[in-house]
A and B are shown apart, each in its own frame.
Chain A
């Protein structure tokens, strides 16, 4: 057990691409935590997707031992956090395990949207913030300007900001000195009953659920009986240890320490992020604050392109859920797409990442339908239905009213983009609440808007209309009644369930028209004419036609063209495989995603 005075728990937070992971790599090297020969880039981002996209999805914790200038050796626990709004809750739990953060800002790019969002989160958590200006080796680096932006935009003193380069390693030692000097050591009551915060978990095939924990009070020892307070699960502690970054067992974890806990539990649903671990007998009466049950915000249908892959998709979802308990799913079927699953996600990035992992790590070819939220349908007979998919929406005749989830949305943006944000918000049925200047360069706008509008590429639109400057945050504020209708798309006279969606009635006509036009472009000409119609109930609101195919290349074919021609035809056949046959109409996958991009 380490004296808490010699422990520092901190996180590194940054806007995407500002060099957070490279900086973490340098910390591991400087403290000899990872041998030179084992060094890979982005050590802490173990998933391929994380490395490629330069994002962090799973939290990580690593313990490094640092010989400081004051002659003491400190135990530094670096907690790497996801940096996306989808994972706000997870980030808040990771930050709750820290006393301080290094706020990394790119020396050329300066303060950006996520810099602000991350800094505000750290401030709200009451953490010590150490600004660090990174990439000072870049020709375009302008640390003085960036210092000014940090002070002006974030109201954080930046005189003493650390100047560093993750690339050259310059300033990394200064950063660790600042952590030792400025981040407060953890405090807690070693004599009190155990209280440990679970800030993330993952599944190990051999050991079951592994929880990453921060000890707040008491000690955690191998062999003790503990209780997960939120799920009232009692279990034995099989192993405790620290991550360096490989799991290294220790006898016990004391106040302020960060490590892992293996209990042998196999069900991730019993070990929840944010829950408090205490003693099974004589444990704490009050859990640590901040726990909540994470609920999916966005739903989509996932279908294998090749129907034979359905069982593989089920297995893959089961496997992923072990590491990602926030993922919820149930079987669903569609006339157009066959058998698949309705899957619930924390947000759009979460959805994208899960889809990509399913495709890459499990070799599946998937089609995702337009995302949806959970609507509450109140029927005239007094019943209430939870609707996760347009297919489940009851007929208008049976409906009394529909409610949809609303958000309080916060947008931070430089003043010159306020107009652009206002315009977008208005298109998305947002109600303006108020705005205020945080500084001369940052305006804080508040809206209330339906979640269903947010998941329709709102974030992308916001980014593109503000040249990437806007930052977005939101919280759920409850259900509100809305005039919603179900819009159906008919191909060759037959409704295609997977193309239906729910939309506000004032926008139905325009959406229907844009979508039929888009589908006309996307659906290739077929052997026969294909009418595309948008309808609300029995009423057709727009119609387009894909004309029958007349000519399909028949260039010359001499000696040298034969192999090439054959390969071309094979490629064409592969292309057809990537389409879905809806009745007799071949529909490319993009058609099912077209609903998402109706603003283009």
Chain B
């Protein structure tokens, strides 16, 4: 079944979305959510600090990268996890469409091998410059249901500053192909860009809506350390809008999108009813997911991790891992991973923190389990969260001051 409110779609043991997800009676199986990281791009954007390499510098043909990603996925089953029941598959990056003709093959092989559910959500991230009508068609045939198009802005000047290898016209054209093929389209746009003002921002949001997406991701640029953009800003060559302007931009987008029928279901995500991303919702509701490829992250419950041969100390409820961000190491069958352990309470606090990113917020039971009721009460006193019919959720101001809210919830006090 496509669509529908994502938290009501899962099979029974996912039912209460705050209730925890470990079916103790079920044999350890692959997580129901799989993320695959394609570590290449046409060129490096100036703001990006994800692990990705310019494709020209990579000594591997696209098909070899695709094979390595598939083999790494299969290795999890060889370690003892039952295959089947995968509900969402997300091919991100990097720029998956840089794999060209090797991409549809990778998607269909993954879908078949993972035994994805009949109504699975299969998303591929794409950049306008590496998408073609033919690629869209073959992706649709390979089982892709959704394309997330990284546009970021519809101002050519802003795109140039970000080092994006496309312009607004190419973005509109690529979006058109996706919509024409019948695939669900999601478009990313960013505010707080160098040189951006509220009117260029409004124009970008309107243009994004004009592309016909069912889903939009809207978020402020974050200037990460050690990126070319950060250096240019530090050197005074570029200036970014201040926090008041960015706050105004976010509020403007929320209003414009509401008027167009897009609901804000998470701080940075809007969708037409039923088109919310099920994959991303899994991240915010504490569901385990597999991360494949260099720089990818995964999360497993302790039982599943142990079954897959991960050494998990006593008292650990949740294991997070990051695949080493290195082309060779990270593409191996048994890649190096950096592991992080969380206790049951930490896992619950993390769920509470992530849950507050959602419009639905979190229920009393999770708040109590996480030990964050006091924190929520004090945030409520400051008008940053509110409690409505047994659920705690951030207010508009609370969303704008997300770090204050998430930080205090994570600290538990």
Real binding pair: yes
Q: Which residues of A contact B (CB under 8 A)?
A: 525, 527, 547, 549-560, 562-563, 565-566, 568-570, 572-573
Nearest CB on A from B138, distance (A): 26
Which residues on B sit within 8 Å (CB–CB) of A563?
Answer: 297, 320, 322, 340
Q: Counting CB contacts under 8 A, is B38 at the interface?
A: no
A566-B410 contact in complex given A549-B401, A555-B220, C-beta closer than 8 Å: yes
* Contact call A551/B283, Cβ cutoff below 8 A: no
A551-B297 contact in complex given A560-B50, A562-B320, A569-B410, C-beta closer than 8 Å: no
- Main SS at interface, chain A: loop
Q: Once the chains are docked, how many angstroms separate the CA of A547 from the CA of B247? A: 14
Residue of B nearest to A550 (CB): B247
Q: Which 4 residue pairs spanning A and B have beta carbons closest together?
A: A554-B402, A551-B247, A552-B403, A560-B297
* Contact call B411/A552, Cβ cutoff below 8 A: no
Which residues on B sit within 8 Å (CB–CB) of A553?
Answer: 220, 222, 402-403
* Contact call A552/B402, Cβ cutoff below 8 A: yes
Q: Once the chains are docked, how many angstroms separate the CA of A527 from the CA of B407? A: 14
Which residues on A sit within 8 Å (CB–CB) of B406?
Answer: 565, 569
Q: Once the chains are docked, how many angstroms separate the CA of A568 from the CA of B49? A: 15
Q: How many interface contacts (CB-CB < 8 Å) are there between A and B? A: 98
Nearest CB on A from B388, distance (A): 21
A559-B291 contact in complex given A527-B382, A549-B243, C-beta closer than 8 Å: yes
Nearest CB on B from A523, distance (A): 15
Q: Which residues of B contact A (CB under 8 A)?
A: 35, 37, 50, 217, 219-222, 243-244, 246-247, 250, 267-269, 280, 283-284, 289, 291, 295-299, 320, 322, 340, 350, 353-354, 357, 382, 399-404, 406-407, 410-411
Q: Once the chains are docked, how many angstroms separate the CA of A281 from the CA of B368? A: 81
Q: Once the chains are docked, how many angstroms separate the CA of A556 from the CA of B399? A: 12
* Contact call A566/B219, Cβ cutoff below 8 A: no
Which residues on A sit within 8 Å (CB–CB) of B267?
Answer: 554, 557
* Contact call A562/B407, Cβ cutoff below 8 A: no
Q: Once the chains are docked, how many angstroms separate the CA of A431 from the CA of B377? A: 61
* Contact call A570/B410, Cβ cutoff below 8 A: yes
Which residues on B sit within 8 Å (CB–CB) of A568?
Answer: 403
Nearest CB on B from A244, distance (A): 51
A562-B246 contact in complex given A550-B400, A555-B268, A569-B407, C-beta closer than 8 Å: no
Residue of A nearest to B282 (CB): A559
* Contact call A559/B298, Cβ cutoff below 8 A: yes
Which residues on A sit within 8 Å (CB–CB) of B222?
Answer: 553, 555
Partner of B283, one of A527, A552, A559, A572: A559
Which residues on B sit within 8 Å (CB–CB) of A569?
Answer: 353, 403, 406-407, 410-411
Residue of B nearest to A557 (CB): B357
| Residue among A549, A552, A558, A569 with most chain B CB within 10 A | A558
List 5 A-B residue pairs with CB atoms under 8 Å apart, sorted by A's residue number. Answer: A547-B244, A551-B250, A557-B267, A559-B35, A569-B406
Nearest CB on A from B234, distance (A): 17
Which residues on A sit within 8 Å (CB–CB) of B37?
Answer: 560
Partner of B291, one of A549, A556, A560: A560
Residue of B nearest to A573 (CB): B411
Which residues on A sit within 8 Å (CB–CB) of B410?
Answer: 566, 569-570
Q: Once the chains are docked, how many angstroms separate the CA of A566 from the CA of B299? A: 14
Nearest CB on B from A556, distance (A): 5
Q: Once the chains are docked, how many angstroms separate the CA of A547 from the CA of B243? A: 11
| Residue among B217, B289, B404, B407 with most chain A CB within 10 A | B407
11 new A-B contacts at CB < 8 Å, known A554-B402, A557-B354, A566-B350: A527-B404, A550-B243, A551-B220, A551-B247, A551-B401, A552-B402, A553-B220, A553-B403, A563-B322, A569-B353, A569-B410
Partner of A562, one of B220, B221, B243, B350: B350
Which residues on B sit within 8 Å (CB–CB) of A556?
Answer: 217, 219, 268-269
Residue of B nearest to A568 (CB): B403
Which residues on A sit within 8 Å (CB–CB) of B268?
Answer: 554-557
Which residues on A sit within 8 Å (CB–CB) of B246?
Answer: 551
* Contact call A562/B219, Cβ cutoff below 8 A: no
* Contact call A554/B220, Cβ cutoff below 8 A: yes
Residue of A nearest to B269 (CB): A556
Q: Once the chains are docked, how many angstroms separate the CA of A561 from the CA of B280? A: 12
Partner of A550, one of B50, B244, B320: B244
Nearest CB on B from A515, distance (A): 23
Q: Once the chains are docked, how many angstroms separate the CA of A565 from the CA of B356? A: 14
Q: Once the chains are docked, how many angstroms separate the CA of A562 from the CA of B282? A: 12
Residue of B nearest to A565 (CB): B406
Which residues on A sit within 8 Å (CB–CB) of B353?
Answer: 566, 569
Q: Once the chains are docked, how many angstroms separate the CA of A560 from the CA of B330? A: 15
* Contact call B407/A573, Cβ cutoff below 8 A: yes
Which residues on B sit within 8 Å (CB–CB) of A570?
Answer: 410
Nearest CB on A from B393, distance (A): 14
Which residues on A sit within 8 Å (CB–CB) of B283?
Answer: 557-559, 562
Residue of B nearest to A526 (CB): B404
Residue of B nearest to A570 (CB): B410
Nearest CB on B from A53, distance (A): 28
Which residues on B sit within 8 Å (CB–CB) of A562?
Answer: 283, 297, 299, 320, 350, 354
